[in-house]
Amino acid sequence: MGTAVAARVPLVDYLVLEPEPHLVAQECTSCGARFFDHRVACANCFAREFRPVDIATTGEVASFTIVTFAAPGVPVPFVAAVVDCDGTWVRANLVDVEADPSKVWLGMKVKLSTFPLGTDSEGTEAVGFGFAPAE
């Protein structure tokens, strides 16, 4: 029997695990541009105020590449993609799909998926995200 998980923590600040996993972007209150990292000013209009916005958990592949060379220890090949989640573009890896151009296509329907990345010595589990085929 495995080690009990004491807590789950997202790998990135914009991944929210509860009550259901989803992404949260920072939206500029002036122009509506969305960002997944901390911003002091909007890269689009230079405004300085943002509000959190939940991002759709489903989308379509807008762009992708099959990665065949990576840093040591990173398993290859894998699919890196840009997913259009109802108008918000999210960069993420595709999971649960073979890294083969005949298995991935532009417009492919996908859904947010979370997965464990590892557990530390105190039982805290790190959680990552990607997008899996929705069909």
pLDDT in tens, 52-108: 999 999 999 999 999 999 999 889 999 999 999 999 999 999 999 999 999 999 999
Reading the block at residue 29, the tokens are: 């209150």
Mapped onto helix, strand or coil, the DSSP state of residue 125 is: strand
Residue 6, pLDDT above cutoff 80 = no
Q: Kindly report the average pLDDT of the chain as a whole number.
A: 94
Nearest-10 Cα torsion for 7, 12, 14, 17: -20
- pTM above threshold 0.85: yes
State the pLDDT confidence band at 135, using cuts at 50, 70 and 90: confident
b/e 32-63 (16+ beta carbons within 10 angstroms → b):
ebbbbeeeeebeeeeeeebeeeebbbebbbee
State the pLDDT confidence band at 2, using cuts at 50, 70 and 90: low
Going by C-alpha positions, the residue among 15, 99, 109, 96 that lies closest to residue 61 is 109
Going by C-alpha positions, the residue among 34, 32, 38, 33 that lies closest to residue 13 is 38
Mean pLDDT computed over 19-30: 97
b/e 106-117 (16+ beta carbons within 10 angstroms → b):
eebebebbbeee
